[in-house]
Structure 1
Amino acid sequence: MVLPSFRTHISAVHGMDDFDEAEVLEKIHLADADVLMLSGSLVDGSGTPSSDFDFSVIAPAQDERFHRDTFPRDQHMRYYTSGDRVRASFDYLPHSLLGVDVEYWTAPEITAMLAAHSRLYAHLCGRARKSSAFAASAVDFRLLSRLTYGVPLTNPAAYEEITAGLRPGEVCYTAFRTAVGSYPDFRDLAGMWAQGDHACALTAARKLGADTFRGLTHVYGNTNRNPKYLPRFLSRLPGPLTALADRYRRLSTLGPATPEAVAATVLEWLDLIDLAFAEIRRARDGAEAFVGREEFLGLLGGELHRTMHWNAEISNEYAFRAREASDDVPPLRELLAALEKRDEAAHGLPLRQWAAARTAPAGENNQSR
């Protein structure tokens, strides 16, 4: 079959080698009824001279290409399997840093994954904690993200039908809910700080910063969870956030000027994270499919109950976690100082009011009766 040109869908990449489209396409085993989708970093603008051409073949059903013994292996450097099932093939282009990566899917697999993501989104809309639920959700998030910007080179009508259940705004929220910085990470940072281990505290602060800034990109429509491209995704934030993104890049790249400046750099990270959370609060009000601020605070309050053994730790945890939706929380510097003193940071959250009408939680989902 004659395949259409895909060169116009490739973003400009500094230092990228030229390529022969026919040489790339001969690595793909395509049938007439297949959808051929082009995606990956060379399409979304985050590519490098050593990136792959990322293709997905979406067939109506499995055929001989999907099985180890009948897969057309000629000319492939290697191919990946899960048991008998062939998942992908990979090749390098001669005299080039570029590669060709082809994944093999069926239309029912894609629609089943989109349905699984819809269930995951509904689950995450009902909880206020950072989540790792992707691990058990039957969602291939890398593929899911690619579907949000992929280009169907063949059978576009079939592609539209297969991806009818794809909602990019919901993908952004599930990515956000699994990215944005968590209280256990901050508490670990505080423990390192209390020990005087500022070097480890700095590593923890960098991670907390990367998670929070990745969350900020998801609020603004980024569906890609891969942290290695974070600086490039930050460059796509709206113009008013350019200075904030530049400050992140400088701090993550340069770090402290001297060993004596490590502690001060940790505090600088906390200030920067505070600014990122402030932008998250402002932007989420207009973000499609995001749980609203008041609704989120309601979910957060639903974890509390009047019979709890109240202490400073509970107060500090909720002062941290509420900052993605509430302005009435202490700066992270103050929260760090409070944890170091085993004290409670001042805030305006009505924790006891939230808890007043609830008895102890039932079950493992932190849902109070």
Structure 2
Amino acid sequence: MSKNGNADASIPILNGSIRIPESYVFDRVHAEPEEVVLVSGTLIEGIGNIHSDLDIYVIVNELPLASSFDIASHVTVCDENDEILTPDQGDTEVGSTYDYYGDSGLHVDVKYITYAEVSRIFETIRWDFGETIVDKKLDYPTVRSSLAKEQEKFVHRLQHGIALTNPEKYEALKAECPVAEYCFLLYRQFSPNYFTFKDVQGTWQAGQLPMAREIARGLVVGHMQSITHLNQNSNKTSKWIFEYVDQLPDWATETRHRFLEFVAMGASNEQESRAYVLAAMDLMDKIFATGVGLMRLQPLYPSPEDCMKHLDAALDLRNDTQHLLSQHAYQFRAKNFRVSEAPLSALVDIGNA
């Protein structure tokens, strides 16, 4: 019987085509009565597939020892560093276990995380957010989170879980999580970088059009992902971008449609390649404008107007503010915060800008 007292309780996934008994989960985890067993991942979020992982987190006071597990009954039992444990390592703390769910193709990934580590994750996000919005950093879009990859995954999965035990503790942790601040960090991480745009300029002018296409495409996809984070997408895994693009607000429908049309475009000759790059730049302008609108919706975030003040102050510190390249850098970065700049397509070819 599952610990919620209902022997028939199950977890529906893939539109109910598969139901995983809660008893199956409890048979494969080690959890004390006061600890949280959380089922999460893309399957719970509703965007996974038959080969996705069912991600389970056990939020514990202390990591369990390997001696608490029947190691032979799991595909793998690993320590905190993902090193596979053997039965003679009973005194080692367990970080995760891995299993398959029957013959379905589903993988079951159980991770153990302490309350203390969860608190550290939240503190790190708040610190990073505070550092990111200081004046001197607002004009540089690319900022990275200090969290490790698995910690980043936990932040997202915490937002989309089902607590099988202690749901009140789960809801308290979810409420405490600074997810809006974390999403801003992801937005900044994926925001387009002026130095990459310079590579589009360079390859365009050199006639290296396959490379120009690829760089331009990367800019567009990364840029589109960045605004999904402004829309409070906390999943930084790029392969799911189309799911989160679909969740943009109705007023961004044109941006969404143009993005989907762009990623389906092809180019097989010089004329088509140049048209592709210019289409990418025009779409970038549209995404920039959408991002400005999304930034205004979150009171925690700096306003576009304040960001422009800091960008202007940064420009004033340069020794040659009238140099063409200084102006290009300024115009590109200003697009993050206002929509009145010259179109990017006019900046691709310096000679024609």
Q: Tell me the TM-score range normalised by the shorter chain.
A: 0.7 to 0.9
Aligned-partner Cα distance in 2 for 1:295–1:211: 24
Choose the corresponding residue for 2:15, options 12, 36, 53: 12
1:15-45, CA deviations, whole angstroms, 9 ceiling, x for partnerless residues?
x655454334432222222101122111222
Aligned-partner Cα distance in 2 for 1:187–1:323: 15
Aligned-partner Cα distance in 2 for 1:88–1:63: 10
Give aligned pairs, total. 334
The alpha carbon displacement at 1:163 in A equals: 4.5
Amino acid at match of 1:40: G
1:214-251, CA deviations, whole angstroms, 9 ceiling, x for partnerless residues?
11211222111111000111111123333432321232
| Structure 2 SS opposite 1:241 | helix
What's the TM-score once normalised by structure 1's chain length?
0.82
| Structure 1 SS opposite 2:73 | coil
Choose the corresponding residue for 2:114, options 106, 120, 130: 106
What's the TM-score once normalised by structure 2's chain length?
0.86
Distance 1:164 1:306, change over 3 A: closer
Choose the corresponding residue for 1:225, options 229, 232, 236: 236
1:190-237, CA deviations, whole angstroms, 9 ceiling, x for partnerless residues?
111111111111111111111111112112221111110001111111
The alpha carbon displacement at 1:70 in A equals: 5.6
Aligned-partner Cα distance in 2 for 1:89–1:178: 31
The corresponding residue for 2:3 is 3
Distance 1:328 1:246, change over 3 A: closer
Distance 1:301 1:17, change over 3 A: same
The corresponding residue for 2:53 is 52
Aligned-partner Cα distance in 1 for 2:164–2:311: 45
| Structure 2 SS opposite 1:261 | helix
1:54-77, CA deviations, whole angstroms, 9 ceiling, x for partnerless residues?
110000223325xxx665423211
Choose the corresponding residue for 2:248, options 234, 237, 244: 237
Distance 1:137 1:235, change over 3 A: closer
Q: Does 1:87 align with 2:87?
A: no
The corresponding residue for 1:356 is none
Q: How does 1:67-216 map to 2 (within 5 A)?
A: 71-81=69-79, 82=81, 85-126=93-134, 127-128=137-138, 129-134=140-145, 136-137=146-147, 140-216=151-227
Does the CA contact (< 8 Å) of 1:115 and 1:165 recur in 2?
no
The corresponding residue for 2:89 is none
| Structure 1 SS opposite 2:94 | strand
Choose the corresponding residue for 1:272, options 283, 286, 292: 283
Aligned-partner Cα distance in 2 for 1:186–1:161: 43
Aligned-partner Cα distance in 1 for 2:178–2:60: 22
| Structure 2 SS opposite 1:115 | helix
Does the CA contact (< 8 Å) of 1:34 and 1:59 recur in 2?
yes
The corresponding residue for 2:41 is 40
Aligned-partner Cα distance in 1 for 2:147–2:112: 20
Amino acid at match of 2:2: V
Distance 1:244 1:326, change over 3 A: closer
Does the CA contact (< 8 Å) of 1:111 and 1:165 recur in 2?
no
The alpha carbon displacement at 1:312 in A equals: 1.5
The corresponding residue for 2:88 is none
Aligned-partner Cα distance in 2 for 1:306–1:178: 24
Aligned-partner Cα distance in 2 for 1:197–1:220: 35
| Structure 2 SS opposite 1:304 | helix
Aligned-partner Cα distance in 1 for 2:22–2:269: 50
The alpha carbon displacement at 1:288 in A equals: 4.0
Distance 1:227 1:288, change over 3 A: farther
CA RMSD of superposed structures (Å): 2.4
The corresponding residue for 1:353 is none
Does the CA contact (< 8 Å) of 2:205 and 2:349 recur in 1?
no
Q: Percent identity?
A: 25
- Contiguous gaps of at least 5 residues in structure 2: 84-91
| Structure 2 SS opposite 1:91 | strand
1:308-352, CA deviations, whole angstroms, 9 ceiling, x for partnerless residues?
1342211111110110111231111011123xx2x8x5xxxxxxx
- Contiguous gaps of at least 5 residues in structure 1: 346-369
Aligned-partner Cα distance in 2 for 1:219–1:253: 24
Distance 1:27 1:269, change over 3 A: same
Aligned-partner Cα distance in 2 for 1:116–1:154: 27
The corresponding residue for 2:341 is 329
Does the CA contact (< 8 Å) of 2:35 and 2:59 recur in 1?
yes
| Structure 2 SS opposite 1:178 | helix
